[in-house]
Amino acid sequence: MYKYKFSVIIPIYNVEDYLREAIDSVINQTIGFKDNIQLILINDGSTDKSEEICMEYKQKYPENVIYEKQQNAGVSCARNTGIKYIEGEFVNFLDGDDKWNLDVFEKVWDFIEETKVNIVACRRRYFEAREDYTKLDYVFEVSKVIDIEQDYQYIHLHGASTFLKSNLVQIHKFDSNLKYGEDIKYITEIILEEKRFGVLRNAEYYYRKRNDKSSLMQNFISDIKWYNQTLNNYHQKVAELSIKKYGKIIAYVQYLLMYDIKGRINKQIPDFLDEDSKKEYKEKTLEILRKIDDYIICEQKNYYSSDKIFALSLKYGRDISKELEYKDGKLYFNNLSIMSLKNNKSILKIGNFIIEKNILKIDGEIMVPITKERYEIFAENTDNIFYLQIFDKNDKTALEQNIDKVLTQEDSYFSIGRETKFEYSFFTKIKLNKINNLKFIFDFMNENREFLSFDIANIKYDKKRYKVKIKDNSVFIEKYNFYKFLLKRL
């Protein structure tokens, strides 16, 4: 028998400014704190006033609050210490600078009784420096139970927003040698055993993005341990766990690893890593990437098409953008759809209209990383079609340039990032007095000549000399005529 429904373990290290808010979000739960919740506070060698705050709550709720202080050993060791005191049926590892919505525990308990799951993940929302949901919020479209072998895209990566059956928690330990990704590794290890977990849309965990950017996760990229240590102790270990359990790296784990790899291939390797460490980091990242099936890369929900193409190019050691096929309004690689182009507003963005002496100059960005031989851009009006000549600013595309850099290891660049947003300028001579409807169309020159829409919301132009009206995907340009303007006003 369990004494409480829930045990909440809070690892504490110098969070005096936020700790009360975190603790109060547990104590004030609508399910009732005294009868249903145990609070375990583990002070990991704080040097601020965190201990005074803990002792205050310990004295106020002596039956419910456990307090222990240890020498600084890291968040994983603090959580492992707290596990020894568990008396609740379900366990949560709340971070000391975050908080819960006040009705979460009640909703989680009702969900557990209804579904009989041993793991419940809650929706995560940022607060303080930003107020929105995480990129994985699609997982919480509806409250349901996830089967990881069928719903492999519905990954869960956050330990603090999770409730776990205590018997599962007590047979697993956090990896104290891992500074980043330790909770993902821990949660994934348990999820791989259970094969199912619940997601609860209307239960929110508030994840603090500090205004002063002082939190650990807001500074991870400048820490040497985020690089090779995390690849060895998190990525490789999770892959090995899957192989041990299932005989292969299952789709759920591949999707999880690919989600994280994106954040690595999109960042420049810092100079504080020596050359041997840079080389090791690249090799290990590519080693993991090659273990991921193509369809997993193509199905990533939070990837731009350029990210997918770059990841596939890295995996195969060549620029695969030249191998893409366009059919049925989609881009394909080896018969795998990378993106849909129909009604996609992010294909082309028009930037500036510069009109001087009946010469129209237009610049913008093409957001799809396809070599320019594959498409053309033109303007049309009711009478004629005006083709605009494309001027590429670079001898090579950004993709080709960066592929060369990465694969030959000539420098520390490891990503094209947003550089795949090709930039062009378009020039033509048009008699503006004969044109009032200028319409840009993006076309892959397929035999059906299917036209695709694009974004023209950011147009800039000389407002003193021209009147520009934007409607749908059409741009209407009209010269200002003072007498015509005056007559219309009268």
Are 123 and 30 within one domain?
Answer: yes
Cα 475 to Cα 201, 343, 435, distances in angstroms = 42, 18, 11
Are 239 and 91 within one domain?
Answer: no
217 lies in some domain: no
Nearest to 385 by CA among 449, 432, 430, 342: 430
pTM: 0.79
Rounded Cα distance between 92 and 108, Å, is 11
What are the φ/ψ torsions at residue 292 (nearest 5 degrees)?
-100, 130
Are 108 and 159 within one domain?
Answer: yes
220 lies in some domain: no
Are 475 and 356 within one domain?
Answer: yes
Are 405 and 479 within one domain?
Answer: yes
223 lies in some domain: no
Are 133 and 163 within one domain?
Answer: yes
| pLDDT tens digits in sequence order for the chain, 490 residues long | 899 999 999 999 999 999 999 999 999 999 999 999 999 999 999 999 999 999 999 999 999 999 999 999 999 999 999 999 999 999 999 999 999 999 999 999 999 999 999 999 999 999 988 888 999 999 999 999 999 999 999 999 999 999 999 999 999 999 988 888 898 999 999 999 999 999 999 999 999 987 765 554 444 566 777 788 888 888 999 999 999 999 999 999 999 999 988 878 767 777 788 888 888 888 888 899 999 999 999 999 877 777 888 889 889 988 787 788 777 777 889 999 988 766 565 566 666 666 555 556 666 666 665 555 555 555 554 444 444 443 434 333 333 444 444 433 333 222 332 333 334 444 444 454 444 445 555 554 444 444 455 555 556 666 666 667 666 556 666 666 666 656 666 6
Helix (H, G, I), strand (E, B) or coil at 57: helix
Are 416 and 462 within one domain?
Answer: yes
Are 98 and 179 within one domain?
Answer: yes
Amino acid at 258: M
110 lies in some domain: yes
pLDDT score recorded for residue 320 = 83
Nearest to 348 by CA among 445, 216, 477, 443: 443
294 lies in some domain: yes
Give the DSSP letter of residue 3. Answer: S
Are 21 and 82 within one domain?
Answer: yes
Are the beta carbons of 468 and 461 closer than 8 angstroms?
yes
Are 386 and 280 within one domain?
Answer: no
Rounded Cα distance between 148 and 246, Å, is 12
H/E stretch holding 406: helix 398-408
pLDDT score recorded for residue 223 = 75
Of 212, 244, 274, which residue is a domain's last?
A: 212
Nearest to 138 by CA among 62, 199, 188: 199
Are 30 and 131 within one domain?
Answer: yes
- Counting the structural domains of the chain, the total is 3
218 lies in some domain: no
203 lies in some domain: yes
CATH number at residue 24: 3.90.550.10
H/E stretch holding 124: strand 119-128
Give the DSSP letter of residue 388. Answer: P
Are 103 and 237 within one domain?
Answer: no
224 lies in some domain: no
Of 281, 307, 340, which residue is a domain's last?
A: 340
Rounded Cα distance between 267 and 211, Å, is 23
Of 178, 212, 246, which residue is a domain's last?
A: 212
pLDDT score recorded for residue 374 = 56
What single string gives the DSSP state of each residue in 237-270? HHHHHHHHHHSS--HHHHHHHHHHHHHHHTSPPP
Amino acid at 101: N
Gyration radius from the chain CA atoms: 28
Number of neighbours of residue 255 by Cβ within 10 angstroms: 21
Residue 13 lies in domain: 4-212
Rounded Cα distance between 162 and 205, Å, is 9
